[in-house]
Amino acid sequence: MNKKEYFMLILKAAEKKFGNADKRLAGDSWPEAWQTLVATIMSAQTRDEVTIPVAEELFETYPNVRKLASARERDVLKIIKRVNFSKTKAKNVIEAAKVLVERYNGKVPDSIDELVELPGVGRKTANLVIAECHAKAGICVDTHVHRISNVIGLVKTKTPTQTEYALMEIAPKKYWSRINRLFVLWGKSVRGRDRKKILSALQ
């Protein structure tokens, strides 16, 4: 079995196991693209269960991107203090909002190259945003996607960016946007790097 066939086997099993799960992740179901962007920036190294209510409070206080762009850092920090690296993230979400207002008229750009220029945005966040907000193909690689892809032998990589490009080679483009959600739910269900244990979680 080659890597492309192996990927499809894994994807189908993951879809069967987790495809209908109603668990909300931090980047899911926000009505505005800028909210998806900001929530995803805040979610880095923070559990979704923490990020989502914090993001909801932030968006209630700042209901549009222009209000967030003019927010004071200490006021944002007060709201988001429960997320990890809150001081850096408070600065980044305000600065990102400013760029959106000043350069893009409040809209969220739909290209990876433009998105990664925003404060606090790396390829993981950029790929999630293009997939979630713009219905474009993107492989969002977080710690779960990176870990599982390596442990089960889909890829052999050292960094999430390497994993993203390696998965592009073996995954049909139409499935790229499904990988993150399925692998995150899978990763949340089983910890560690035991290959047998990780694969058995799909059964």
Could you list the active site residues?
124
Using an 8 Å Cβ cutoff, are 42 and 87 in contact? no
d(CA 39, CA 46): 11
* Length of the chain counted residue by residue: 203
Token pair listed for 140: 């969002």
Using an 8 Å Cβ cutoff, are 116 and 99 in contact? no
Using an 8 Å Cβ cutoff, are 96 and 118 in contact? yes
Using an 8 Å Cβ cutoff, are 128 and 170 in contact? no
Question: CA 181 from chain center: how many Å?
Answer: 9
Using an 8 Å Cβ cutoff, are 201 and 12 in contact? no
Q: Is 90 left (phi over 0), alpha (psi -120 to 50) or beta?
A: alpha
Token pair listed for 108: 């969220």
d(CA 119, CA 14): 33
d(CA 180, CA 128): 8
